[in-house]
Structures are given as structure tokens and as C-alpha cells.
Amino acid sequence: MLAVLSVEIRKLNRSLAAVLAIAAPSLIAVFAFFNVLRMDEVQPWEMWLQSALAIWAFFMLPMSVTALTALVAHMEHGPKTWDHLRALPLPRWKLYAAKAICVLGLVAVMSAAALGLTWLAVRAGVMIRPDMEPAGPLDLAGHVKTLALMFCAGLLLVAIQLWTALRYASFVPGLVVGIGGTFFAVVATSAKQGVFLPWQMPVNMLSSEAWRLATALGLGGGVGLLALIAMVLHLSRREVL
């Protein structure tokens, strides 16, 4: 399994995955930086970091997963290398499990980068405007915990997007699912039923309603893990993609 993972990581290094992993969280940091410069009143650290996590979970995470899964799948669909990979003397499930692990690893790195780069962006903005030094305590541990919950709640989202991207040779179905899911998550933000939408589950980790948080975490994490296992088993048994 380690050998398969090593190969997948090398493929990612030669792709645009690194650019995506840096660009997506950097956009949130740039937004925070210019907000510091335009503010008229001092804001607490809680506001800056909570806002960054909300933007990440609400929009950037779903769209990043959509792009990342399409990229990972196209590395095989594009040059039509699936027949070669599936003919190798190793269990087929390892091929798909390795891709899932790599995608989840990149999502975790991007999530951490969204928090870290936002902190750096605020510090950079304060260097230009010292009067905007954030007030209140800097609870990094609490925000890291929230990020971890968002990651767990996003497992079902990742499973759906990766399953679609690997199942279809064209990148269009995955993009349609991702864009459509994000659209309905945005327009159904205030709806109680929105908590059952995989694309809205990560942002529910910021909810003050305990039932929404527990429901989104249970479905996103628990069902998401089962969906990832089902994806690996289903794709490894298919003869032709």
C-alpha cells in the first residue's frame, strides 16, 4: 500500500494539485488582508478566524474538492492508463484507496493552510495599519478543533465527488455535481433541511444549534466513511470505467 501511495504522491507532484492547494486557501487570506486595511474599527481575533473558516467551509471547500477530485481522476482518464493500472499484480482496491487517501490528505493540508494563511494575512495587514491590531485572545486550538470537525463532516462530500470523478471518464459529471451541490447549499443556507445536504455539512460545524452540528457530523463523517469504502469496493470490481 505504501508503494501505491508513493506513486500517487509523485503523480500529484507533477500535476497542478500543488497550485490548487496553495491558491484556494490563499484567496481567503488575501480577502482577510484587504479587509484589515479597509476596517474602521478593531475586530477580535475570533471574528477574523471564524470568518475565514466560514468562507472555507461554505464555499471554498466544496469547490476545491470538486476541482481536486476532477484533477486526480483526469490523471488516469486523460492518458487512458486505467487498463494498465488495473493489470498490475496488486489488489485493485489499493489503487482507489490510494487516490482517496491522497485527496483527503490534500484537503486536510488546504484546511490547515486556510487558517494559517489567514493568521499571516491579518498580521501582515496590521503591520501596515497598527491601529487595527485584533483584540481578544487568539484561540488557535479551538479553531483547529473546528477545522477537524469540518474535515470529518466533509467526508461524504469528498466521497460523492471522488466517486463521480473516477466513475466517469469525462470531467463534466463531477463538475456538474460539485457546482450544483454548492449552489443548492448556498441557497438553502437557512433551511433546516439543508443540514442533510453533503455540501452544507462542513459549515454546520459552526452552528450554535447542537442538533445541526451532531446531525451534520454524524452523516458527513459516519456515512461519508462508509461511502468511501463502498466507492473503493464498487470501482475495484468494475472491469471497464
**pLDDT tens column, 92-148:** 788 888 889 999 999 999 999 999 999 999 999 999 988 888 888 888 899 999 999
Q: What is the mean pLDDT of residues 1-19?
A: 70
CA distances from 6 to 9, 61, 85, 86, 232 (A): 5, 25, 14, 17, 18
What is the distance between the alpha carbons of residues 150 and 54, in angstroms, rounded to a whole number? 10
pLDDT at 182 > cutoff 60: yes
pLDDT at 241 > cutoff 60: no
Which alpha helices (H) appear in the chain, and where do they start and end?
A: 2-13, 17-38, 45-55, 61-77, 82-86, 92-128, 140-153, 155-167, 172-187, 210-217, 224-237
